[in-house]
Structure 1
Amino acid sequence: MKQYNILFLCTHNSARSILGEALASTHPSGKFVGFSAGSTPGTSVNPIARELALEMGLDPAKLKSKSWDVFGEAGAPKMDFIITVCDNAAGEVCPIWPGNPATAHWGFPDPSQVEGTDLEKKAAFVNVMNGLKKRIDILAAMPLDKLDSMSLKEIHTKA
């Protein structure tokens, strides 16, 4: 079975994009290899996002914030899909991606900005994780070899 590479983008690559990478990489369909990056990556992954990604079974070595520039370099994995998960990254000028991947914006509020108890903060991350999971489940059920940017964007309205 062919596996499809999905790059999740967010400004700091510390929470939402990390959750997208973990969900895609550990999806029960086995159809995806997830990656994540940011336009201005932070210095570390948010501790709650780290905890959730590890619970999903993501390799701890992949849990680091990185620039999206690394995926535009020669020798970088070719992406089939590129999905922005924060409104800031969606509005930025992205690099030219090799291979003309299908792109979409699946916006979610930044869970790391939630104030409150530890439980309330974790709940915000779980809400984002569940929203991403719904969209990745819909994506996995689609004819991936025929998918284009328009149909990838429609997943946002179905979830």
Structure 2
Amino acid sequence: MKARWIITAVSAALFFGGSLFTSLRDPWFQNLQRPSWLTFEFLIPVIWTFIWVCITISAIIVWEKSCKKGSRPWGLLVVYGAIALLTSLYSPVVVELRSLTGGMIVGGLATVLVYILAFVVKPISQTASWLFLPYALWGPFGTYLTWLLLQLNSPINP
């Protein structure tokens, strides 16, 4: 079986895995106060699907280019996997554990790994590196949005 299909299958399993364990339609999550400017929330699944496809294509490019040079970038694929796992954990952590702070941590950590990996894969493939751009732009925004949800929904301390 070609490596690209294995990478795609693992990526898809991780992408849909987070959704299998939780639903963002959970009443607790749906009842969180949101900023008034968040009028595009319905687009967030589309945005994440696009980001996920870009990261998956990046992993395939890095694998194939590295293999042509005679090496197997297992360590890099582990980091791709860590990014995917952390990203998939966001919804279960936020909804099932009811932890916006935990969501900020896993989302922020995934974003940091994206920046690092984008830099590391650049010598292998500039295209693979550029495919991190959507995540690199959305990750900080998503982390900020989670922080904002935490601020809007924290009980006021006397």
The two structures share one fold, judged by TM-score above 0.5: no
So what's the TM-score if we normalise by structure 2? Answer: 0.32
User: Which protein, 1 or 2, shows the higher relative CO under an 8 Å CA cutoff with sep ≥ 6?
Assistant: 2
Greater helix share, 1 or 2?
A: 2
TM-score between the two structures when normalised by the length of structure 1 = 0.32
